[in-house]
Structure 1
């Protein structure tokens, strides 16, 4: 049957996308079956893709494998399902119902062009399983250059203990890694994404993240709060205030109270596209951060730094306005 002719006679499931699984899928597809080729890793090829030469002909492994990869990737009767495993099988021969669990790639195959620009920017290095842990690769990767599907994937092993411990769910391991790479602007963005009060939390946070830092099992916990304070102070002189956020909706939002909760809500709403106004009864925003914590613990300049970045997004602040009295 020609490779371009759709299947009409039934379907088959092939587990394992190594060279044997690929050849099996091609034979079934040419016989008219719709084939689901399921592979646990992000790409087809199996162990043969790791080899240099193959026994007994001493041929180049990729020279043998690559044509099959191209053919199986283009065959209309073959649906490739990578990053997936069989978790259930019911029924009888000819009438099986298979349940496949597909793990996330964290990269959209429809948008990825496999340009490779993402990998050098990734600050996280992990063991390279493809090369038998003999070197390291970045957390975002393509299994090998000729991989099918020709799409990058991200190794994600759940949330780090420091991120789970954080009340704001800040990616502490993310900005620590970025600081280690010298990418301070990206580190500030990472730290401020869930919580705009970076300079504040770098000084007075109880840093539960450090209590759960697994580095303490080796020597001592990483100074996560100190690193956050460092990148916040760096941003004062090196990172300009953000541009006003685009207003996408005609509805306006009023927030009563200019404390940390109110200012955070205003920031998030502004980024979503709402025109937001904060009404504060006192003369300045900040709430208990400004009026309840002494200067030697939290300098007012550090607090104002975080507030100014929120206001720069287009958030309007009206002070001396008490709900029920002034409006």
Structure 2
């Protein structure tokens, strides 16, 4: 990602990296995007909004906090020049002001935002409850969650912790759920590569496997 620094004619060249999707980051992104720059907005949480999304009122005007940021949430989510990079953090930045590259680390969301319609059915059936960090730990939420009702992107994520029971039971640490899903999708080459990442001798192990993953499976 390179920071924009000049024009060619009337066309903006390069892009801008904005770190943090709070009220300041959203407004900066909108101002830059409206000026014609391509903006990459990086946010470490699963949705933008920052601390202001947690507030009820703002000082000193006592205005509704959500009423203040909601229009910006919508505008950022819809702006053609803004690309949201949620669940991401900046690892390294190389180069110099005006011409730099950034490397990001993005945490898996485990839910496809392109297909999620925000219905919340996954959270309703999720059997795992965890402390709700958005509410400072004063409440519980499901491991399948949306950060807050008005969250942008309007999609759910899964807070995955630990190791899947099937993988934990396997003597080789094989990601059974991963390669089985790939096989079901007809992606056989990728399934084979997934197996080989953990186990260099899949044919041998397959002959002596006693299916511990099946015994430990909690999916039914």
Distance 2:128 2:80 in 1: 37
Distance 1:169 1:125 in 2: 26
Distance 1:155 1:121 in 2: 14
Going by fraction, where is strand more abundant, 1 or 2?
A: 2
Equivalent position of 1:65 in the other structure: 69
Shift of 1:156: 1.3
Equivalent position of 2:171 in the other structure: 167
Shift of 1:135: 1.0
Structure 1 spans left out of the alignment, 5+ residues: 1-6, 172-192, 195-247, 249-259, 269-305, 307-327
Describe the shift of the 1:57–1:160 C-alpha distance in structure 2 as closer, same or farther (beyond 3 A): same
Structure 2 spans left out of the alignment, 5+ residues: 1-10, 179-185, 187-206, 216-220
Shift of 1:165: 5.2
Query: Please, which of 17, 20, 23 is the counterpart of residue 19 of structure 1?
Result: 23
Equivalent position of 1:78 in the other structure: 82
Matches within 5 A, 1:277-292: none
Query: Please, which of 37, 40, 46 is the counterpart of residue 36 of structure 1?
Result: 40
Contact 1:9 1:32 in 2 (8 A): no
Describe the shift of the 1:79–1:157 C-alpha distance in structure 2 as closer, same or farther (beyond 3 A): same
Query: Please, which of 135, 139, 145 is the counterpart of residue 135 of structure 1?
Result: 139
Distance 1:42 1:51 in 2: 18
The alignment covers a number of residue pairs equal to 177
Equivalent position of 1:95 in the other structure: 99
- RMSD of aligned Cα (Å): 3.0
- TM-score, normalised with respect to structure 1: 0.49
Equivalent position of 2:115 in the other structure: 111
Distance 2:131 2:169 in 1: 26
Describe the shift of the 1:167–1:263 C-alpha distance in structure 2 as closer, same or farther (beyond 3 A): closer
Shift of 1:30: 1.1
Equivalent position of 1:124 in the other structure: 128
Equivalent position of 1:298 in the other structure: none
Higher relative contact order (CA 8 A, sep 6+): 2
- TM-score, normalised with respect to structure 2: 0.72
Contact 1:12 1:36 in 2 (8 A): yes
Shift of 1:164: 2.8
Distance 2:172 2:128 in 1: 22
Distance 1:63 1:121 in 2: 31
Shift of 1:10: 2.2
Distance 1:115 1:165 in 2: 33
